A and B are shown apart, each in its own frame.
Chain A
């Protein structure tokens, strides 16, 4: 019943036709996929909610998650999916980390209070220690979700566990790519993994180490709600009605992501999503920004300084 790699290539080809992958990148991808062994991934989960892993399971636009897991990647440690538990799982993580060249995915923040004991990766090993020991041999490090990237809601004031994002913990690191979001969009993750595999370098990043291709344009600038009626700006005055949500607290003016175009929960390969927060009438929370949540809340209150770029 094994799914062939051709399915993944087909999806990648569709992406290439749609201008999302260059032909040379596609060729490189094919070489990677035909090569000996599969790209290796170690996926650690710290102080978070596993929501980014669940979001990853929704991947279909660039590739389906079953295709990625069965045919494309060797996900050598991923707590939600792996067959092994306990000592056998830990030995898998340790064996994987001993062989350099993997993509290290970190989900969830890293508590540093109480000597790191607010979050254990596994028996007698704090999340902080697990990150410190798996980072050196990683080819690339992806901080997936706002908790891993910048601390996120886990580090919300007063940050009871002194939780940190990966960049804060490890310091400046050329291998690090931040893929924030609460949760991270599966396309941002799968698209970035594809970029790493085809180019063997990190993609062009903004000042917060986010890929410009996904986080380069302000949400408000591409939001259809601004001109919902005949090209004139209209403002919603109560929840559940039409119009721009700015006066109801929307943070789209200080948030940079492609949510308005990409949307969420894609229908199929190469397709965009069925809806998004603002599309459903909820204000943008600014969940991809480094100052989320404290700099973005109260969520339903109009922000006096909407133009500020965090």
Chain B
């Protein structure tokens, strides 16, 4: 007899997410047979952007998300530079890479220890007050001395992620929310002192990733072998690429690319559309490329169940994130599963921290940090980069010198998308099917799989009404 379980709120994520699963007994095992993923908060951010000075886009859009503001600021800067016909100088590019890298490290450490790990360890006798109680008590939780060590690392990880933000703020002004990112570069000037201060913190964090984070991720994989099979999802991976290594961005630390059921494939961002058959938007909002995107909220749409649209490449759902970046770039070959997302994220943090050391060497004190530019009357631009949790795109149009259209597609848009026009579930919805769930009052198994995607919901819901002038 199928039963339905609603988990709302899904906690230990960014934003407002509801998961609904249908549970039934298949082959003697009670498991998830169908899942629905719903974003339950809408702000209309891009409606707010219409009519504003284009140069403000990086400052507004980073406020879409408090966990990945740096990625939004960078995507907006890239879109504006595309529109203005300018390119950040080498210092500006390296400074932005270093701030973005710092935020990846804080985000990955936060995700592993504070958002994900509580699903796997028994904190009884170690953390016996709120917010760690009430809690789930599952038979497979890590206990004993290993749990005590992991809880100790959970606590020290607060310091590690704080230092990652402190490190980024040296060039960002502050974090979260960057003060220094502008179209044309980064306004923070380079000095021997700020480079040295950054390097000291980076060395500490490299040691933390190497000696604490990576071993803990491996320990989790050993303790929970089933999760290297569970939560596979659709099997298609997509990355836009990030961390430009030269002025035009033709060389990147993570190259753009796709995997279609394991096979590499070329990537053309023009193939992206958003579908809205099951989303709370008017039918006219569907099947559009983001450069001509339209989003008209309709909370009463019949059959709608999410504020997220369903982005598709061609007509196919794709998973985005560290696993996609690392797999497409040949750095990770272990597979696709809940545990592989956790392992790829940890390995990516290490790779990135090492690369950041090289970018620090490339900074030149006193050299220019910003390429000046001016706002054209009519133009358009695209900024594609990667947030910690996956590929991020900003599409911008300018008319009469102000923003006429702004569209954002975030990684969680893809990963947590609802069903599309053809009824095909999004990646998280697909990944939950087959996950065993013995005790409906303690859905840890579902949470482990959902958390492996590191969902970020505030990012994923946004809207723009094209051509609309804002009066104020």
Contact = CB atoms under 8 A, between A and B. Distances in A.
B10 A85 contact: yes
A32 B158 CA distance: 25
Interface string B74-99: 00000000000000000010000000
A53 interface: yes
B66 A51 contact: yes
Candidate in B40, B123, B148 with the most chain A CB atoms within 10 angstroms: B40
B201 to A, nearest CB: 9
Contacts of A83: 11-12, 118, 123, 131-136
Interface stretch (A19-27, A131-139, A158-166, A168-176): A158-166
Contacts of A45: 16
Interface in B38-92: 40-45, 47-48, 52-53, 55-56, 59-60, 63-67, 69, 92
A57 B178 CA distance: 17
Interface in A56-104: 57-58, 60, 64-66, 69-70, 74-92, 96
A265 B166 contact: yes
B174 A273 contact: yes
**Which of A77, A90, A156 has most chain B Cβ within 10 Å?**
A156
A50 interface: yes
Contacts of A53: 66
A234 interface: no
Interface stretch (A195-203, A204-212, A213-221, A279-287): A279-287
B180 A281 contact: yes
A183 interface: yes
Interface string B170-193: 111111111111101111110000
A297 B52 contact: yes
Interface string B365-395: 0001110100000000000000000000000
A285 B41 CA distance: 26
Interface stretch (B1-9, B207-215, B331-339, B347-355): B1-9
A267 to B, nearest CB: 7
Interface residues of A, number: 91
Contact of A65 (B40, B43, B158, B173): B158
A75 B136 CA distance: 18
A160 B40 contact: no
- Scoring B6, B65, B155 by chain A CB atoms within 10 A of each residue's CB, the highest score goes to B155
Contacts of A154: 43
Contact of A298 (B52, B180, B369, B463): B52
A239 interface: yes
A85 B18 contact: no
B10 A301 contact: no
B56 A264 contact: no
Contact of A1 (B67, B151, B458): B151
A282 B12 contact: no
Nearest to A249: B55
Interface string B95-113: 0000000000000001000
B463 A280 contact: no
A89 B9 contact: yes
User: Which of A84, A85, A117, A281 has the most chain B CB within a 10 Å cutoff?
Assistant: A85
B15 interface: yes
A1 B48 contact: no
A277 B174 contact: yes
B36 to A, nearest CB: 13
Contacts of A310: none
Nearest to B55: A300
Interface string B115-147: 100100001001101111111100000000000
Given A120-B8, A274-B170, A66 B155 contact: yes
Given A66-B158, A123-B6, A264-B173, A301 B53 contact: yes
Contact of A158 (B47, B159, B173, B186): B47
B208 to A, nearest CB: 15
A157 interface: yes
A240 B187 contact: yes
Contact of B63 (A49, A77, A79): A49
Given A92-B134, A156-B48, A299-B55, A49 B458 contact: yes
B472 A65 contact: no
B261 interface: no
A38 interface: yes
B264 interface: no
A49 B66 contact: yes
Given A49-B458, A264-B174, 20 more contacts: A49-B67, A50-B66, A51-B67, A57-B162, A65-B158, A83-B136, A84-B134, A85-B10, A85-B11, A86-B5, A111-B42, A114-B299, A159-B48, A239-B184, A264-B175, A278-B179, A281-B188, A298-B53, A299-B55, A299-B56
Q: List the 4 closest pairs (A to B, CB-CB), nearest first.
A: A51-B66, A281-B187, A280-B173, A277-B179
